Amino acid sequence: MTKYENECVGCKDLGNPCYGDSCPNRHVKRLYCDECGDISDKLYLYNDMELCKRCLLNTMPVIKND
C-alpha cells in the first residue's frame, strides 16, 4: 500500500523558513507490503495485494520437476 507521510524535520527550529504544505518533507511517499507491513522500495501486485519481493516469492507456487 502506498502512504504519504509527514517527515517534517523542523526547519523553523533550525533557523530556516518553513514552506508548509509545499515542503517535500511533508508528503513523503512510502510503500508498505500488504503481507508483512515492511517498507519496500518496490512492490509487486499479486492477487490484488501489493507485496514486497520476499513475500511475493513466499506466496508464489513452486513448480517442481522430478
Tens of pLDDT, residue by residue, the chain (66 residues): 999 999 998 888 888 898 988 999 999 999 999 999 999 999 999 999 999 999 999 988 888 876
Note the pLDDT of residue 60.
85
Note the pLDDT of residue 7.
92
For residue 17 the three cell numbers come to: 523558513
Instruction: Please give the model's pTM, rounded to 2 decimal places.
Output: 0.74
Note the pLDDT of residue 45.
95
The answer to whether residues 49 and 34 touch, using CB atoms and an 8 Å cutoff, is yes
Note the pLDDT of residue 21.
87
Q: Tell me the DSSP string of 21-61.
A: GG-GGGSEEEEE-TTT--EES--EEETTEEE-HHHHHHHSP
What is the C-alpha to C-alpha distance for residues 43 and 31, in angstroms, rounded to an integer? Answer: 7
The answer to whether residues 48 and 64 touch, using CB atoms and an 8 Å cutoff, is no
What are the structural domain ranges in the chain? 2-52
